[in-house]
């Protein structure tokens, strides 16, 4: 005679199955978190780099094309470079009068000035060079920004050909 055995099926997971699931989930979570942190760091460095480039480019744009209603070096008929070993001053003579751009390494700024106003057009500029001839001007600006543990610098250069040089 055959006897029937009643098996009771237990529902749920064993401890070993739970440990394996937690280990796999933890590994996946660590990998995702690592990728996320790397992306955030990359985004932060890239944003800082873009900011330094924009700041240097904006300063050079104002020097070349003008500040407000004042003309820049592109409209000048003469540019005189009063450079020293640490800073420079570019005197720009144009149809609206005399204007000058000056670099102060102690304040890390570039300033625009004319007879009626003076304003800072560039900040965080750690080094700069300006060379000029009778018909050309070369300018290079290096902007450095630090935010937390990240530090980025960018150097931007421009070459200006004076449109209407003064003839003698």
Q: Give tens-digit pLDDT for 55-72.
A: 999 999 999 998 888 888
Q: Does residue 1 register a pLDDT over 60? A: no
For residue 134, give both structure tokens.
């009778």
pLDDT at position 142 is: 96
- Please, which pLDDT band fits residue 10 given cuts at 50, 70 and 90? low
What does the pLDDT read at residue 7? 63
Q: What pLDDT is recorded for position 168?
A: 47
Annotate 48-68 with DSSP letters as a single string: HHHHHHHHHHHHHHHHHH-ST
């Amino acid at each position: 005679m055959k006897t029937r055995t009643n098996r009771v099926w237990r529902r749920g997971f064993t401890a070993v199955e739970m440990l394996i699931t937690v280990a796999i989930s933890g590994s996946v979570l660590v990998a995702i978190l690592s990728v996320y942190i790397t992306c955030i760091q990359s985004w932060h460095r890239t944003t800082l780099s873009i900011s330094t480039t924009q700041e240097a480019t904006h300063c050079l744009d104002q020097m070349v094309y003008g500040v407000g209603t004042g003309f820049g070096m592109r409209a000048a008929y003469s540019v005189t470079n009063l450079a020293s070993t640490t800073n420079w001053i570019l005197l720009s003579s144009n149809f609206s009068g005399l204007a000058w751009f000056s670099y102060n390494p102690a304040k890390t700024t570039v300033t625009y000035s004319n007879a009626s106003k003076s304003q800072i057009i560039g900040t965080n500029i750690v080094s700069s060079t300006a060379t000029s001839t009778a018909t050309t001007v070369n300018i290079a600006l290096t902007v450095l920004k630090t935010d937390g543990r990240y530090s980025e610098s960018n150097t931007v250069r421009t070459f200006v050909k004076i449109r209407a040089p003064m003839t003698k």
